[in-house]
A and B are shown apart, each in its own frame.
Chain A
Amino acid sequence: MNFHLKVWRQKASNAPGKLESYEAKNIPAEASFLEMLDIVNDDLVAKGQEPIAFDHDCREGICGMCSAVINGVPHGKDRGVGTTCQLYMRKFQDGETITIEPFRAGSFPIIRDLSTNRAAFDRIIQAGGFISERSGSAPEANSVPIPKTIADEAMDAAACIGCGACVAACPNSSAMLFVSAKVNHLNLLPQGKPEKHRRVLGMVKQMDAEGFGNCSNYYECEAVCPAHVPASFITSMNREYTVAAARKSAGATG
């Protein structure tokens, strides 16, 4: 298959960028989107040109490293099932023009081309996305009973791979889907309960400090989420945040 690519090229964070045109020739239909970029890069290197920088790691949809906004949709989710690495070229028309841009948000500075720095998410995790637990031998798994429905819901939240597609898709660059997934994942489970209130206050505060936008309930985030995290976690986080703030105002400990 052949494609006309328009790829965002930018030398550094503060350098100006622009779309450059490339021809992707003889791409196998079974190639993933990243493999297609590999083939294009091989061609660029052979011609002595700078290859296109893009983020990738596991290439099996679990690490959350690959990114890219494909024809205006993060991960090309309107055609694919998950992340960019799981999107196959057979989903495109032969000869199609494909526009590839980085995830755009002030909080995700572009490192180079399609590669972005998503360390803001790490700082949000540091602000409360953990549990404090004694180290040592693992406790007996069934000693803490967890209702199946709660376990399932926590697993739905835990499915978040932290790729940042929610921010990239949001017209406001809001990180609410990511933060709410991480808050709910731990707050739903007994292990996360002791730090429940501090967690939601800390993570929302850090989210705001990072300069992400605010949620306007467009639901673009859940539409592009490769892990199918639902926006219902945002509504529970809104509730938990206000409850935690009220408790803190009233001087309750926790």
Chain B
Amino acid sequence: MGVSTSSAKSVSPLAAWLFSSIGKKTVVAVTGIFLVLFVCGHLLGNLTFFLGPDIINSYAKHLRDLGPFLWVIRAGLLAILVLHIFFTVSLWKENHAARPEKYVVKNHVKATIFSRTMRLSGLIVFAFVIFHILHYTARTIDPAFQHYETDLHGEMVHNVYKMMVVGFSVPWVSAIYIVSLGLLAFHLSHGIASLFQTLGLSNKQLRPRFEFAGRALAWLLFLGFTSIPVAVLLGVGREALK
């Protein structure tokens, strides 16, 4: 292979760490923590849907009222997502190159369906995030969403509640959300426990607990998020359509 045991060029220890196999994985794990925390916060906000139109509409108004600070949060999230994807792609390219000739027969002994589908689930979730932003944030998929307004304590605000009910009343839209959220749960079923291993925070005794807790959180998030499209399809919030 012609590999030398010493490298001629000297790089700063920090750069050497960042671009080592372990450094890159650490970036993916740390950005993963932020993304999981964001998803948890997002769910808590969404669940105000069940508290009625006024609660979720005022929650949405408070978010909008953050003004420039909202854009700081958005930019931060985007940067985290970009780092997560950039380092994953870089790791994947190396992993792919590490086995130029594939096995004719390969059987897995321990790898789970979740760990083996990380790239696929990640890519689909990424595509879903774009769709979701166009759907409910930019509101370009159904431009009518732009004009949903309601009276909240004497102030005209965007009617998020009505937008969600109208959006999820379309079965194929709800189907996209449910399938994509299922893939997010797949991704997190491996990802959450995996980040503790990568960050060196696990050990033989803790690993099964992290695996259980990670999977439990992943599927609780799935149940929480999908409860809204399912509820809308079952008729919740129909009065908002009048």
Tell me how far the C-beta of B96 lies from the nearest C-beta in chain A, rounded to whole angstroms: 8
Q: Number of A residues whose C-beta is below 8 Å from B?
A: 62
Question: Across the two chains, which residue of chain B brings its CB closest to A77?
Answer: B109
What mask results when residues 181 to 217 of chain A are scored 1 for a CB within 8 Å of chain B, else 0?
Answer: 0000000000000000000000011111111111111
Q: In the bound complex, do residue B200 and residue A235 qualify as a contact, i.e. CB atoms below 8 Å apart?
A: yes
Q: In the bound complex, do residue A71 and residue B1 qualify as a contact, i.e. CB atoms below 8 Å apart?
A: no
Q: Does B10 make an interface contact (CB < 8 A)?
A: no
Q: Does A26 make an interface contact (CB < 8 A)?
A: no
Q: In the bound complex, do residue B111 and residue A174 qualify as a contact, i.e. CB atoms below 8 Å apart?
A: no
Q: In the bound complex, do residue A245 and residue B13 qualify as a contact, i.e. CB atoms below 8 Å apart?
A: yes
Q: In the bound complex, do residue B99 and residue A235 qualify as a contact, i.e. CB atoms below 8 Å apart?
A: no
Q: Does A69 make an interface contact (CB < 8 A)?
A: yes
Contacts of A232 in B (CB 8 A): 202-204, 207
Contacts of B124 in A (CB 8 A): none
Give the CA-CA distance A215 to B21 in the complex, in Å: 8
Identify which of A78, A211, A217 gathers the most chain B CB atoms within 10 Å of its CB: A217
Contacts of A5 in B (CB 8 A): none
Q: In the bound complex, do residue B3 and residue A71 qualify as a contact, i.e. CB atoms below 8 Å apart?
A: no
- Contacts A213-B99, A218-B116 given; indicate if A240 touches B7 (C-beta within 8 A): no
Q: In the bound complex, do residue B99 and residue A105 qualify as a contact, i.e. CB atoms below 8 Å apart?
A: yes
Q: Does B24 make an interface contact (CB < 8 A)?
A: yes
Q: In the bound complex, do residue A241 and residue B98 qualify as a contact, i.e. CB atoms below 8 Å apart?
A: no
- Contacts A231-B197, A232-B202, A232-B207 given; indicate if A242 touches B95 (C-beta within 8 A): no
Which listed residue (A206, A220, A222, A249) contacts B14, Cβ 8 A?
Answer: A249
Contacts of A104 in B (CB 8 A): 99, 101-103
Q: Which stretch of A57-65, A87-95, A119-127, A137-145 is in the interface?
A: A119-127
Q: In the bound complex, do residue A219 and residue B110 qualify as a contact, i.e. CB atoms below 8 Å apart?
A: yes
Give the CA-CA distance A173 to B1 in the complex, in Å: 15
Q: In the bound complex, do residue B7 and residue A217 qualify as a contact, i.e. CB atoms below 8 Å apart?
A: no
Within 8 A of B (CB), among A41-91: 69, 71-73, 77-78
Q: Does B91 make an interface contact (CB < 8 A)?
A: yes
Q: Does B94 make an interface contact (CB < 8 A)?
A: yes
Q: In the bound complex, do residue B106 and residue A242 qualify as a contact, i.e. CB atoms below 8 Å apart?
A: no
Q: In the bound complex, do residue A219 and residue B111 qualify as a contact, i.e. CB atoms below 8 Å apart?
A: yes
Contacts of A25 in B (CB 8 A): none
Q: In the bound complex, do residue A235 and residue B201 qualify as a contact, i.e. CB atoms below 8 Å apart?
A: yes
Contacts of A127 in B (CB 8 A): 5
Which listed residue (B94, B109, B196) contacts A73, Cβ 8 A?
Answer: B109
Which listed residue (B16, B91, B102) contacts A245, Cβ 8 A?
Answer: B16
Which listed residue (A106, A120, A207, A210) contacts B99, Cβ 8 A?
Answer: A106
Q: Does A169 make an interface contact (CB < 8 A)?
A: yes
Tell me how far the C-beta of B231 lies from the nearest C-beta in chain A, rounded to whole angstroms: 36
Identify which of A99, A208, A214, A249 gathers the most chain B CB atoms within 10 Å of its CB: A214
Contacts of A1 in B (CB 8 A): none
Which listed residue (B100, B116, B193) contacts A106, Cβ 8 A?
Answer: B100
Tell me how far the C-beta of A219 lies from the nearest C-beta in chain B, rounded to whole angstroms: 5
Q: In the bound complex, do residue A204 and residue B5 qualify as a contact, i.e. CB atoms below 8 Å apart?
A: no
Q: In the bound complex, do residue B95 and residue A211 qualify as a contact, i.e. CB atoms below 8 Å apart?
A: no
Question: Across the two chains, which residue of chain A brings its CB closest to B118?
Answer: A216
Q: In the bound complex, do residue A217 and residue B197 qualify as a contact, i.e. CB atoms below 8 Å apart?
A: yes
Q: In the bound complex, do residue B98 and residue A213 qualify as a contact, i.e. CB atoms below 8 Å apart?
A: yes
Q: Known contacts A120-B3, A235-B198; can you find 5 more A-B pairs with CB under 8 A?
A: A73-B109, A104-B103, A169-B109, A236-B203, A238-B200
- Give B contacts to A, CB under 8 Å: 1, 3-5, 7, 12-14, 16-17, 20-26, 91, 94-95, 97-111, 115-116, 118, 190, 193-194, 196-204, 207
28 A-B residue contacts at CB 8 Å?
A: A72-B105, A73-B107, A99-B105, A105-B98, A105-B99, A107-B1, A109-B1, A120-B1, A127-B5, A169-B109, A173-B99, A176-B21, A214-B94, A216-B91, A217-B193, A217-B197, A219-B110, A220-B109, A234-B197, A235-B198, A235-B200, A235-B207, A236-B200, A238-B198, A242-B22, A242-B26, A245-B13, A249-B12
